[in-house]
Amino acid sequence: MRLSGRVAIVTGASRGIGYAIAKRFAAEGAAVVINYNTSKSGASKLLREVRTSGGEGMIVAADVADYEQVKRMVRKTLAKYGRIDILVNNAGVMIPETFLEGPDDVWDKTIDVNLKGTYLCSKAVAPTMLKQKQGKIINISSNSGLYHPSAMRFVEYVASKAGVNGLTKALALKLGPYVNVNAICPGWIKTDMVAATDPEVEKRILDETPLKRYGTVEEVANAAVYLASNESDFVTGELHLVAGGRGMH
């Protein structure tokens, strides 16, 4: 129960990594605000699981790229729980289009959710965390945002995650000493987002991974618990790889 008594907002929590993090946070004692944009059914399923296990939570619909919706999510959280201790900026998209042939709006869609959404959610919770003199912001980035050639397949996605990495460090400086800001850079995690990857690409990824397997969403959630807990109180501005050694630096 390392997060007992704390309130956590997890964006994009209706599936994948966000789902696993919110579920694990609840098991560690946190009240979880389960954010979703389109999949109310996934968010509702998670909330049922949390409550069945004796946890506390609520679901809130919000497009993280829309600041009015983000601020409304924060207001609802404060109205119910009175505080915000943890924010996990997990909501993200990866549009597998080639740079030269993809639609013109791929850049805008990717940057709006992955980078702008992380910025807006952080901006919305920061005043509360600073007032509390306590808070943890965890950005879910990717080792695609680091210099690792075979992970850098989609130009817009790579740019958005590199931006998240820079934003993480800038926010760590801006919000210290009271708010810790870190990023998790997952490697190859089997989720819906990467389900349609070409088998040859998958083979190359596994060949490059010293541990020779995919990661799990639960393993990313383990890292998130550490960064959300008191165990990481002297850690800020870091890019924490959970990638089986792929892209180590």
* Residue numbers annotated as active site: 157
Backbone angles phi, psi at 34, to 5 degrees: -95, 105
- The position carrying tokens 């968010």 is 43
SS3 227: helix
- Give the pair of three-digit tokens for residue 153: 């397949």
- Give the pair of three-digit tokens for residue 221: 């959630």
Is the separation of the CB atoms in 156 and 107 below 8 Å?
yes
Spell 5-18 as b/e; 16+ CB within 10 A means b: ebbbbbbbbbbbbb
Residue 19's region, left for phi above 0, alpha for psi from -120 to 50, else beta, is alpha
In 3D, which of 99, 122, 111, 221 has the Cα closest to residue 174?
122
Q: Rg of the chain's alpha carbons, rounded to an integer?
A: 17
- Give the pair of three-digit tokens for residue 130: 């600073």
SS3 10: strand
- The position carrying tokens 């959710």 is 113
